[in-house]
Structures are given as C-alpha cells and as structure tokens.
Structure 1
Amino acid sequence: MKMITSRQHRLLRFLLQQQEYATLLSLAEQFAVSEKTIQRDLNIINDYLAEWNIRADKKAGAGVLLVAENMADLLQLEQKINGENDDAGGIMGHARRVKIASQLLSETPKETSINKLSERYFISNASIVNDLRIIEEWITPLGLQLIRSQSGTRIKGNENSVRQAMAALINGLMNHQEPGSVNHSRLDPGSYKALVQYFGEEDVAFVQALLQEMEQALAYPLGEPYYINIFTHILIMMHRRTRGNLLDNPGYVTRSHVDDPVFVVAGKMVAEIEQRIGLPLPEDEVWFIYQYIISSGVLVMENQSGSLLHAELFSDEARDITLHLVTKFSRLINIELNLDQQLYEGLVVHIRPLINRLNYQIIIRNPLLDDIKNELADIYYLTRIAVEQVFVRYTPRAVSDDEVGYLAVHFQAAVERQIARKRVLLVCSTGIGTSHLLKSRILRAFPDWEIVGVVSSATAQSVTQQMAPDLVISTVHLPEGETPVVYVTAFFNDADIRRVTDKLITEKLHQASEAYAVTQL
C-alpha cells in the first residue's frame, strides 16, 4: 500500500465529501498551500487511489473530482479514511479529543472522572472511554501514561514530558500560513491566534516582551520556529505553576552556570516570570529556560559582505559533525560540497543547538516538513541517510524527521548553488536570430552561466571536445557523449528551464537515491 502524508490524507478526506468538481485554487486556499503543491499532492493521491480502482478526474476550468466505476469502492475507501482518523495520529484533527487531552495534561497530577468528562462534553461514557484510548496511544510514545483507578483518571509522567505533549497540542492548533494583515511582533498571525486562545492576550504580551529583552541581552535573534517553541513552553510553565500543578523533577541536581552569560539571562527571565505570576518557581526552571535558549537556532542575518555570525554560535563538536555530514552527503551524490562556505556556516550554526535539543530531548516542529518530503524527496532521503550514518557516532538519540527536514533545506540550497556557474555550449540550427534569442533567454534564467559558444550540430562534437563545457543545450538531436545534453525549444520557456534543472539536479539526486537503495538490497 502506498503511503500518503497527513496533508494528503486530509485532502483525500475532503475530496471524498465533494459531489462537484473543486478547482485547484479553492483547494489551495482550503489547505493554505500553493496550487503547484495541490497538483503535486493530487498526483501522489492518484497513485494511492489506483489500488482502490478510483481516480481523481481532472477537467480544465472545472477542477478535480473523485470518480469510480463502482460506488462501493468510494464508500469503502471513505470508511477506511475516516477510520484512520480515529487512530492515535487523528487526535490533532479531532477537536473534542484535543480538548480532553489538553485538560488532562494541564491539570495533571490532578484526577478527573469519565462521568465528569461525559457531562462536560455532552457525550456518552462509551465515547469518552474511546477518546481516552486514542489519547493514551498518542501520549505513550511521549513518555507519559494514562492512569485509570477507582479514584479517577490522570496522566502520569515527568514535567518535561507533560510540557512537550502540551506544546505538541498547541502546535497542532497553529496555522502558520493563516492569512492576516497584522503581524504581532515576531509571531505570525496563526501562532498568535492559537496562543492567545489558549493562554490569554495579557500573558502572551508579557512573554513577547520577555523574549524581546532576552534577544537584546543575547545580541542575536532566534530563528522563527525556535522562537515560537520557547514562547510556547514559557507560557505552559506559567500556566501550570499558577494552577499549582508543577511536577517534581527527581533527576534535577543543582548546576552552577554563573560564568555563562546565557544562564544569567535565564535567571533574570525567571525572576521576571515570578514577579508576573506572584509565585516562586522551582530552582530548576532557570535550567529549563537555559536549555531552551541554547537549544534554539539563530536567525542568521546577511548583508552584502555575507553572513553576520557570532563566534559563540560555533563549537568544536558542531564543526566536527558538520564536516563529517558534508563529506558523507558529497559522497552520496558525487558532488563536492566541502568548499561551500555558505553550507558549512549554515549547518554548523544549526547543528550546535540541534545537539543540545537531542541531549535535552527538546522537540522542534517543522511546519514545512510535508512540503520538504514532497518537493525535495531525493534530497530529504539522502540527508536522512547521511544524518543516520554520522550522528550515530555522537549521540544514541535518533534525529527526528522535523530536524532532518531543516538540514535537507541547507543541502538543497548548496546543490542549487552548484549549478549557478556553468560553462555551457549552445547547439542551434535554426538561424542566427533564433540562436541569439536562445542565448539571451538562457542568460536571463541563469545569469552567472558562461556561454562558451553557439554552434551547429555538425561542429558540436569537435567543439565540445575542444571547449570541455559542463553542459550542452541543444535544439536538435545529437549523438551521445560524455557531456550531459539537455534538449530545449528555441524560445527556452519555463518547461525548458525545468528540464535543465532536472538534468543538473533532480536526475543526479534521483540516481544517487536509487544507487544507495540498490546497495541496501
């Protein structure tokens, strides 16, 4: 059975409910993605539907509609899709279960009862029992237990695991691409709306000011997903403390970080939080905030002279891992990336806090993960291989899909930079005017390329041997040779640009992915 992502799962469920054709534009707006992404998702869904004898019928101007020769196939698929939504992974798409899980996490270690939950949500005890079963399946991998006893029902675990689970629920409510005209400081409208809904506008404004002071004291800003992550976790800590629900941390021992300026900043933040809530906080909350700060990625600013990096953002371990990772990835794709300074700096700054996140078991969400897996499938796959082979030397903890997604973007950018400067030979036999047009349009699409010559097919082979270009672009068929050839139209349109990119990047990466897969058989 072919696999589909969570967004494709939601798109399929949406299409199953439609009785009329839905346009790509309406679907793109519904799921807050581009029409190109919807088109790509539909192609993958079509492959998935083939096993059900169903297809996504597309009509120009009308859109797409699921059709099947046998209506029973559609009904059977709908039952399966809706059934999958009842699995543990379906908790995020089920408002009542999110509320119940949120209540249990927020109030733990306090207990509640099935009867109280039934009365609160106006459903039967049997439905509550089913919801609790699904919630239990969801929290178990997070290191938490659902305890049922005669006295009541509660969640059991350590404070860090409870906060991670609460953060996962809140992240599920965030629509980072939600349209809106107002950006509330560093928070995008979707994140702001979700946090205000959960914690209230005043507490959100307080943490916003607190983090602004933190970034000023650190003298560098945090990257957006890390900023939202620490923002959420501080709100959760305040929320649980004001309700008297903080759990003890038996593994905590007093740590002295007086010489670490980040630890001093964390201490000042805790003092401000205590003043805000009017309650003392446990000593380990300074360590908690310190962990989140040093586990956060930095927003690297750039100007005409390059990236503005602080020396404290590097570490010997991060440098070592970066060098090994770039070397391993270069070998996988047979492209030398070790001299790419931009790749090195981007990775080393990212990997230092990544190591801390692995050590402290801090989870970061990547809101673009589905798109990365779809649009950069080969890069993601190869990055996953390189990460697994390199990080095992440094930590026993697995690197999550979200983290691999962030690393894959760095490698994709590096691979694309490899095609920025190419020596290209043009082969065109349709006249000098057309050849000048072709040359002009190629340089407009790839301004850093050098056109080493424009020749006819009769002289192409000899000129190729003499000039040794990196690539031949031709409007006519040529005998096969060692130099890669891309066939284009004389007008070099968008489809031709894609063909060139595919030849230089996509095909090479796909071949590398297939070659590695064969070695594992």
Structure 2
Amino acid sequence: MMDRRIALIKILIRADDAISSTSLSKRLGVSKKTILNDLKAIQSQYLDKDLQITKKSGIGIKLTGSAVSRQQLADSIDSYGVIGIDGMQERQLDFLMNLFLSNENIYIKNIAFDSFISRTTVNRDIREINQNFLAKYELKIKNTQNGLVVVGKEEKKRLALARIVLLKCDRKLQFMAIKSDDFVQNMQKLLGLNLEPLIDLVNKLQTDFHVRFAINSQRSLLVHLAVSIVRIKVSAVTNDNKTVQKEMIKHQNELKILKNNLTSIENVYEVSFDNEELYLIFLHVISSKQVGSENESNSSDAFQLQVEEFVNKVSLDTGKAYFNDNELCDSLILHLQIAITRVRFGMRIDNPFLKYVLENNFDLFVALKNNISIVLTSDYEIPDTEIAYVAIHFMASEEKIKEAPRVIVLCAMGLGVGQLLLQRVKSYFPNYSILGAVSLEDLKNYTSKDVDLVISTINLEGRTDLNYIVVNPLQDLSKINMGSSLELNKSRQKKLNIDFSDKDCLFISEPGEKRDLLKKTSKWLVYQGKAKSNYFNVLLKRESVGSTYIGNGTALIHGKYDEESLPASLSIIRLGKKVKWDEEHDVSMLLNFIPTDEKKADFAVLFKRIGKSIDNTEFWEKIISSDAVTMAKLFNEEFNL
C-alpha cells in the first residue's frame, strides 16, 4: 500500500495537467475507489497547507501548490534520494535508464503518455539531459525515424549508465559495505539482475589478484559488471580499439586469470565477454586497487623524479615543506599509478572528501591543480575528484611535517634591545624555534616560508605579510598569547597587486539556467577583453569535471590557470535570481579569475584569504546586498587588495 501511494504521489508531482481517476487506476492496477481512498490518505499524511489535491468533474485530479513545495515533497518521499542529482530530476533519470536498457523503439509520444506529461515537457527533458548530463560523456539523445537513440561511443554509454545506477541506488556509497541490503536490492530491482554471483566474483577477484578494493571501488566494479551484462543483452558491443589490443599483450597473465573467473558469470547470465569487454573489466579491477595493497611500486626512475618535482612545486606554491616528508612520494607513486589508468580511460570515481578539501584546503587544491600535469598528462581531463584524492595525501603529510613555530625577534638595529628581547623570548618559550634577532632592514630577506612569527618592538603594519606581534622588551612575556599571534590578522596582511573594481562588475537580472548564465558571462568577459572567444567552452569543460561552488551562494569560475596573452583579471557577476549550480547548491554570485604567471603568487594568497572568509555569512550577505562600487570596496578591504 505504501509503495502504491508513493507511486501515486510521484505521478501527481510529474504531471503537467489533471489526470482522470480512470487513468490512475489503470496505471496502478487498482480500482477507482482505491485511488480515491489513497488520495484522501495522501492529503492527510503527506501534504501541508501549501499543497492540495484538487478533483474536478470531467477534468481530473491534480496536485496544486508552489514549485518549491512540490520539490520539497519530491525530496521527502524519494526512495532513492536522487532528485536533482547531476542536474537531473528522477523522471529524467528513469527516462534515460529506459533508453539504455530497452530493446524496443521509444518515441516521444510514448514517454509523454506513460509519464502523464506533455510532448513539450519531454523535449525540454531531452535538452536538459543532453546539456546537464550526457555532454559530460560526449553523448547525445537524438530523435530519429526509429525513435529516440543515445548517440556516442559504447564505452561512454556504459560510464553514463553506471553513474545513473549509482545515483539511483545510493548517494552515500562510502558509508556502506558492498553487501548492503538497500544498495543491492535497489540495484537488482533497477536492472532486473540477481547480483549475488557478481558480488562473489568481486570478492574472489580480490583474492586472485592479491589486492584490496576500497568500498566505493567495490561498488563501482559491481556496477560496471552489471551494466556490461545488461548492455550486452541489448546487443550493444564495445568498439574495436587497436590501443586496447596493444595494451592486452602487456597483461596476458592477469587477463587469463580474469577470463577464468568470468566463465561462470557468462554461464549464469547467458552472455559472452569479448576481448574488449574483458579488458574494460580488467581496467576497473586494477583501477579499484586500494593504495597500499602492494608492497612495492613498479614505477620507473623517471616517474619517481616527476613525483618529486610535483611535491617540490606544490611545496613552493603553498609555502609548506612537504618535501621533508620522506614517505609522501612513495604513497603518491602508488596512488598515481592507479589514477593514471582511470584518467587515461575516462573512468570517473566518486570522492566523498571533495567538498571538505575545497572548503578547508582551497589553496592546496589550487596548487595541486596548477601542477598536476607534471604527473598526470595534460592530454586528458583530470577531474576534481582525482585531485582531491591527491590532496588527502598532502593533508596527511602536513601532520607529519609540523614543527615548532619558527620565530625571529626584531628591533630597529637588531643589536642591544633586540639581543635582550631574544634572550627573554628563548627563556619564556623554550618549545619554539627561535632563529635569532634581526634588524628592520634585514626583515625584507624573510618570507612566510622561512618564518612563522615575528616578535617585534616596532609596528610593522604595511611593511610585511608575516605574522607579527608588537611587544615592549621589558613587559611580562608570559601574558602573550603566542597561539593567537600565529594566526594571520587581515589588517596586517600585505596588500596584493590585484584588486576588484566596480568596472569589472556585471549584473544579470535574468540569468536563466546554469548553462545560459555561463554563456552570458563568457560573452561579457570576451567583450571586455578579459577572455578568449572560446571561453564559454572552456568554462563548460571546467564545470564538467567538478563543481566550482565555494560556499555562501558563490561560485569561483575559471578556465585554465595560465591563460596566455591575457591580462590578469578579477570579475564579479551578480545575479538577479538564484541559479541551480550543482546537486546541492544555488548561487547568487560568480567570481571569475584569470591569473598570469606574473600574478600567480598573488592569486594563490587571495584564494587562501577567500577560503578563510567563506564561512563569514554576515560578510557575504553584505556583499550580495551592495551596489557594484560598495561591493568592490568591501572585497578589497576584506582581502587587503
């Protein structure tokens, strides 16, 4: 009964027009009396004052109320928890699933009839699915004489279908084991397959290949196997690929083991895996290996040198001594060898830590993104999820390389008074690394890479970007709060050689949907001479690999990090209406940045300052409500630009 009422609610939410009780009874296989009883129960149990079920003789039954209330109802009763995921509604996910799994021709009129929606709505759904989801996989729905078809490479279709299955079955993959009843039961119902033989296969492969799979990797492998089987059953085969044939020669022994394991699966499901299918499954196996599952790395000396260069560059950009962690390079080599395979073959993985990394270590994320091409070839698009996994290694390393804060004592000449203060500081703070006493003239030789805190007898405002505290040489030093002194005070930050200007502020009263907004923004930036003519495509490509949302209704949009022959720029785009940005967030403002090599360091510092301010809701609300002149002024004051 509960399932039937949930199904009835979903039909009413999706429907554009009123539906007769006869149509509903036929659709759900019950009498009209049962439908009317269900509607009464739904009104009392599920609907609030903003939503009403209206019944009009000769017209039918309709759910009335605001779009927001309808969406909230959909979210609350969605058994899969995927409303709005990846820019698609559940109706659109179901529609796309049907296209991938059906052997029959599917026409727009059939979808409209089955879903109780108009053909106009179906056409709109097709456009949104193409733009918001399939474009990421280089796929597209086309309307042909034989009905609707998904056009593109079979490998990409399977990646898209696997993503849908994961979305439909469970959003929180990282918290559940492979045999989770909810996940398996939902997936079996979705695909019409008994998954027990595939679960046994996944577990056996770990034994035969002497590896451990992370839980979300087990899920991904299970989904890939199931998707391969259902696609083979609808006669969809992978393309002949010469590159794959060459790669197979390198892994003959492993492929033989895999082939032996798949024989029983072929018999159970009455399918046959050709060499292309076999190699795709093998790729999922080796890309699912958990870091640390092997004792040794098979990396070349050249790759080890690349990883060392990568660590050194990230250390330089962030001002942190990651190169002092001897174990970091080893763990990165193991991780990157697997990541290279995923990137090369377009195998995307979920990363539950992406949001945490962006919110808490944005400057590290930017440094990694700037330098990742050293170890992962720039011929392939590198998703933010992969970069965030690399960030986890660096974040773990930070805990290892933490040392006693480095302190210098400063006075005008660095002599008498400075030496007196030096001895007192050493006495009061024995756990700190006291580097010595310096003069004001010598201060210019120190950066944040050398010193954590300056204890000074002189006010250093506007003279340094270092943390500092002003003291009297003879005061009671025990009352100094050294911990808070190590936190950078924005009023003492060095001014950066970039800034926001009201001339670089655009207000868009009717932004439309996300794609429309990016198009309008890129057109304006090109007109202003701040971006190249292909910037719209550059922005779309960047958004396809991960959300640029940073918090408080703001997205930080950008293309490549080092645009050639363009001036460095910061632009503000204010919106008259909120725009759906990703599955969880709406935006009211965009910040676009285009750095140059000359200004890269300034931008890195700015990102760090933005990261520290992003949770200051009061500041960002003030920004949104201000005019262009005030907005630019507030930004420049907050970030000391």
Q: TM-score, normalised by structure 1?
A: 0.62
- 1:110-259 paired onto structure 2 within 5 Å: 111-137=105-131, 138-173=133-168, 175-177=170-172, 183-184=176-177, 186=178, 191-192=183-184, 194-199=186-191, 202-203=194-195, 205-241=196-232, 243-251=233-241, 254=245, 256-257=248-249
Aligned to 2:90: 95
Judging changes above 3 Å, is the alpha-carbon distance between structure 1 residues 251 and 471 closer, same or farther for their aligned structure 2 residues?
closer
Judging changes above 3 Å, is the alpha-carbon distance between structure 1 residues 130 and 206 closer, same or farther for their aligned structure 2 residues?
same
SS of the residue corresponding to residue 234 of structure 2 reads coil
* Range with bigger deviation, 232-241 or 168-177: 168-177
Partners of 2:172 and 2:291 in 1: how far apart? 19
Judging changes above 3 Å, is the alpha-carbon distance between structure 1 residues 492 and 480 closer, same or farther for their aligned structure 2 residues?
closer
Higher share in helix = 1
Once the two structures are TM-superposed, the CA of residue 386 in structure 1 deviates from its matched residue by 1.3
Kindly name which structure, 1 or 2, has the bigger radius of gyration based on alpha carbons: 2
Judging changes above 3 Å, is the alpha-carbon distance between structure 1 residues 463 and 199 closer, same or farther for their aligned structure 2 residues?
closer
Tell me whether 1:465 sits opposite 2:436 in the alignment.
Answer: yes
Once the two structures are TM-superposed, the CA of residue 98 in structure 1 deviates from its matched residue by 0.8
Aligned to 2:404: 422
Read off the aligned partner of 1:413 and give its amino acid letter: A
Aligned to 2:272: 280
Once the two structures are TM-superposed, the CA of residue 326 in structure 1 deviates from its matched residue by 0.8
Give CA-to-partner distance per residue, 1:190-233, whole Å, 9 cap, x none.
75565345336731x32221111111112120233333222211
SS of the residue corresponding to residue 143 of structure 2 reads strand
Judging changes above 3 Å, is the alpha-carbon distance between structure 1 residues 498 and 101 closer, same or farther for their aligned structure 2 residues?
farther
The partner residue of 2:259 within 267, 291, 311 is 267
SS of the residue corresponding to residue 311 of structure 1 reads coil
Partners of 2:433 and 2:335 in 1: how far apart? 47
Partners of 1:409 and 1:179 in 2: how far apart? 15
Aligned to 2:372: 387
Partners of 2:478 and 2:68 in 1: how far apart? 48
Judging changes above 3 Å, is the alpha-carbon distance between structure 1 residues 213 and 480 closer, same or farther for their aligned structure 2 residues?
farther
Judging changes above 3 Å, is the alpha-carbon distance between structure 1 residues 371 and 192 closer, same or farther for their aligned structure 2 residues?
farther
Once the two structures are TM-superposed, the CA of residue 153 in structure 1 deviates from its matched residue by 0.9
Give CA-to-partner distance per residue, 1:418-439, whole Å, 9 cap, x none.
22x3267899xxxxxxxxxxxx
Once the two structures are TM-superposed, the CA of residue 473 in structure 1 deviates from its matched residue by 10
* Range with bigger deviation, 128-137 or 362-371: 362-371
SS of the residue corresponding to residue 341 of structure 1 reads coil
Partners of 1:224 and 1:498 in 2: how far apart? 40
SS of the residue corresponding to residue 123 of structure 1 reads coil
Once the two structures are TM-superposed, the CA of residue 155 in structure 1 deviates from its matched residue by 0.7
Read off the aligned partner of 1:367 and give its amino acid letter: P
The partner residue of 2:307 within 322, 326, 341 is 322
Once the two structures are TM-superposed, the CA of residue 234 in structure 1 deviates from its matched residue by 0.9
Say if 1:426 and 1:455, in contact at 8 Å, map to a contact too.
no
Judging changes above 3 Å, is the alpha-carbon distance between structure 1 residues 282 and 519 closer, same or farther for their aligned structure 2 residues?
same
Aligned to 1:515: 602
Once the two structures are TM-superposed, the CA of residue 299 in structure 1 deviates from its matched residue by 3.9
Partners of 1:118 and 1:298 in 2: how far apart? 45
SS of the residue corresponding to residue 300 of structure 1 reads coil
Once the two structures are TM-superposed, the CA of residue 113 in structure 1 deviates from its matched residue by 0.5
SS of the residue corresponding to residue 154 of structure 1 reads strand
SS of the residue corresponding to residue 153 of structure 1 reads strand
Aligned to 2:582: none
Judging changes above 3 Å, is the alpha-carbon distance between structure 1 residues 396 and 192 closer, same or farther for their aligned structure 2 residues?
same
- 1:371-520 paired onto structure 2 within 5 Å: 371-388=356-373, 390-391=374-375, 394-419=377-402, 421-422=403-404, 454-455=427-428, 465=436, 515-516=602-603
Aligned to 1:21: none
Say if 2:174 and 2:215, in contact at 8 Å, map to a contact too.
no
- 1:332-351 paired onto structure 2 within 5 Å: 332-351=317-336
Aligned to 1:447: none
SS of the residue corresponding to residue 202 of structure 1 reads coil
Partners of 1:188 and 1:102 in 2: how far apart? 22
Say if 1:176 and 1:188, in contact at 8 Å, map to a contact too.
no
Say if 1:329 and 1:382, in contact at 8 Å, map to a contact too.
yes
Read off the aligned partner of 1:276 and give its amino acid letter: V
In structure 2, list runs of 5 or more residues that go unmatched: 1-66, 73-83, 410-424, 439-449, 471-476, 498-598, 608-641
Partners of 1:228 and 1:492 in 2: how far apart? 53
SS of the residue corresponding to residue 239 of structure 2 reads coil
SS of the residue corresponding to residue 265 of structure 1 reads helix
Once the two structures are TM-superposed, the CA of residue 416 in structure 1 deviates from its matched residue by 3.4
Partners of 1:132 and 1:268 in 2: how far apart? 42
Say if 2:406 and 2:435, in contact at 8 Å, map to a contact too.
no
Once the two structures are TM-superposed, the CA of residue 164 in structure 1 deviates from its matched residue by 0.7
Partners of 1:124 and 1:106 in 2: how far apart? 23
Say if 1:177 and 1:190, in contact at 8 Å, map to a contact too.
no
SS of the residue corresponding to residue 322 of structure 2 reads coil
Give CA-to-partner distance per residue, 1:119-178, whole Å, 9 cap, x none.
221212221111111112231331213221222111122220110111222233354548
Judging changes above 3 Å, is the alpha-carbon distance between structure 1 residues 250 and 107 closer, same or farther for their aligned structure 2 residues?
farther
Give CA-to-partner distance per residue, 1:346-395, whole Å, 9 cap, x none.
2111110111122222222223322321222111111111114x257x45
Say if 1:176 and 1:191, in contact at 8 Å, map to a contact too.
no
Once the two structures are TM-superposed, the CA of residue 325 in structure 1 deviates from its matched residue by 1.3
Partners of 2:336 and 2:342 in 1: how far apart? 10
SS of the residue corresponding to residue 397 of structure 1 reads coil
Judging changes above 3 Å, is the alpha-carbon distance between structure 1 residues 149 and 466 closer, same or farther for their aligned structure 2 residues?
closer
Say if 1:425 and 1:472, in contact at 8 Å, map to a contact too.
yes
Judging changes above 3 Å, is the alpha-carbon distance between structure 1 residues 214 and 497 closer, same or farther for their aligned structure 2 residues?
farther
Q: TM-score, normalised by structure 2?
A: 0.51
Once the two structures are TM-superposed, the CA of residue 262 in structure 1 deviates from its matched residue by 2.6
Percentage identity across paired residues of the two chains: 16
Read off the aligned partner of 1:141 and give its amino acid letter: K
Partners of 1:423 and 1:200 in 2: how far apart? 60
Tell me whether 1:290 sits opposite 2:275 in the alignment.
Answer: no
Partners of 2:164 and 2:308 in 1: how far apart? 36
Partners of 1:486 and 1:189 in 2: how far apart? 58
SS of the residue corresponding to residue 150 of structure 2 reads strand
Say if 1:92 and 1:98, in contact at 8 Å, map to a contact too.
no
The partner residue of 2:343 within 328, 333, 358 is 358
Partners of 1:460 and 1:295 in 2: how far apart? 45
Say if 1:224 and 1:299, in contact at 8 Å, map to a contact too.
no
